[in-house]
Structure 1
Amino acid sequence: MNTPSAIRKVYQGAADRHQMFRMFDRHAQRPNRFEGDASALYAGDWFEIAEREHDYMFEILPPLWIRGSMFAMREFLIGSVTSVFFALRIDGVIRFFHGYCDLSDGRSVEAMRLAIIERETRPVRAMTREERLEHIWSATADAFRGYADETSPRYLPGQRVITFFSDTGSAGLKLLDDLTDDEIAAKLPVQLRHLPDALAA
């Protein structure tokens, strides 16, 4: 199965409530979902939300803890991974974020906070190739994304695959990581297609 990097932005722009709830479990289709430890799939994911969604999540349940402008959800997603919500002042504006942190690592919340600030204070709006792929994965409906299994002879079980339509209109599965630059551009919304490449931090 793909092993994502430690801390990663998984959606460009602020997610609305529907998209936020979809991204809370971006890997629900993984094979053998209830077997093994999938913490690494989730820990490190983060994305921006609106103030309304931030406040809504604060009011659902009493937080596990509140630390300044951050709070953690009482219910854990998997193992020691839970949602942490951030209200951060970036370039003079308060913005709101959701991140999955592994609370067994006492540094994970602060590392997430610093990574978000570093990423969002870059002077030029840009996306890395990895951010483009993660945005495509996050924004694609479940019917058009999934994981290879034992019935997919071309791919290793657990690899992320996405439906891609050719110029002739035929549909087929392709590894997410193998999308070409042109295929990535075709899958991105128009406003993101021509953003400059950003160097991975």
Structure 2
Amino acid sequence: MLHLSSIRKIFQGVAYRRQMFRMFDRHAQRPNPWENDASALYAGEWFEIGAVDHDYMLEILPPLWMRGNMFAMREFLTDSVTCVFFALTIDGQLRHFHSYCDLFDKGSPERMRNAIVDRESRPLKAMTRTERLDHIWSVTHDDYRGYAGERWPEHARGERTISVYGGSRGTTLKLLDDLTDEEISAKLPVHLRTLPDAIAA
């Protein structure tokens, strides 16, 4: 089964509202969704949103709490994971972000804020391999992504899968983590294909 839980950027660019709502639950197809605690799948995910959508989310319900440049949603995705939104000035520009933080971990919102500022303050635009894969997963329609089930080897079960076009061989299902550099490039939007590789922090 897929286990994540580190802080990670899951979308390159500013997500518009429809994309934002899709990414709120990008693990909805996971196997046995009601039998296992999914906190580690969601905690640590973040992406950029627009100012209007940040304010829209603030007005939906009274927040659980507000602290300076961040607020937490009152409704929890899992027992301890909820949305935390940020309005951060980075390099003199006010920008807005959505994240999932595990509030059982008292310092997680502050660590998330610091990680976002650090990642977005880099002078050179670049993406790690993990960021490329997460972006592909975020923008792929549910019909073309899923999770490895019973017909996969036991060690792969529960891992993310994605449909890959293989030319004359047609479309095949492949583990997301096993995509080649060429397959990753083909699935990325044109403007992201030439970004240099970043070293994971």
Please say whether Structure 1 and Structure 2 have the same fold, judged by a TM-score greater than 0.5: yes
- SS at 1:78 equivalent: coil
Give the distance between the partners of 2:8 and 2:68, measured in 1 at CA.
Answer: 23
- SS at 1:149 equivalent: coil
Question: What's the counterpart of residue 22 of structure 1?
Answer: 22
Question: What's the counterpart of residue 13 of structure 1?
Answer: 13
| Poorly superposed stretches of 4+, deviation over 6 Å | none
* Contact residue 148 and residue 155 of structure 1 kept, 8 A: no
Question: What's the counterpart of residue 177 of structure 2?
Answer: 177
Q: What is the identity, as a one-letter code, of the residue corresponding to 2:182?
A: D
Q: What is the identity, as a one-letter code, of the residue corresponding to 2:65?
A: W
Q: What is the identity, as a one-letter code, of the residue corresponding to 1:147?
A: Y
- SS at 2:167 equivalent: coil
Q: What is the identity, as a one-letter code, of the residue corresponding to 1:199?
A: I
2:66 matched to 1:58?
no
Q: Deviations over 1:34-91 (max 9, x none)?
A: 0111100000000000001101100100000010110000000011000000000000
Question: What's the counterpart of residue 131 of structure 1?
Answer: 131
Give the distance between the partners of 1:132 and 1:72, measured in 2 at CA.
Answer: 27
Question: What's the counterpart of residue 143 of structure 1?
Answer: 143
* Contact residue 30 and residue 146 of structure 1 kept, 8 A: yes
Q: Cα RMSD between the aligned structures?
A: 1.2
- Give 1:152 shift: 3.5
Aligned residues: 201
Question: What's the counterpart of residue 163 of structure 1?
Answer: 163
- SS at 1:110 equivalent: helix
* Contact residue 61 and residue 73 of structure 1 kept, 8 A: yes
- Give 1:153 shift: 4.9
- Where structure 2 has 5 or more consecutive residues not aligned to the other structure, the ranges are none
- Where structure 1 has 5 or more consecutive residues not aligned to the other structure, the ranges are none
- SS at 1:11 equivalent: strand
* Contact residue 5 and residue 42 of structure 2 kept, 8 A: no
Question: What's the counterpart of residue 79 of structure 2?
Answer: 79
Give the distance between the partners of 1:37 and 1:17, measured in 2 at CA.
Answer: 27
Q: Deviations over 1:138-184 (max 9, x none)?
A: 00000000001113458722010000011226111000000010100
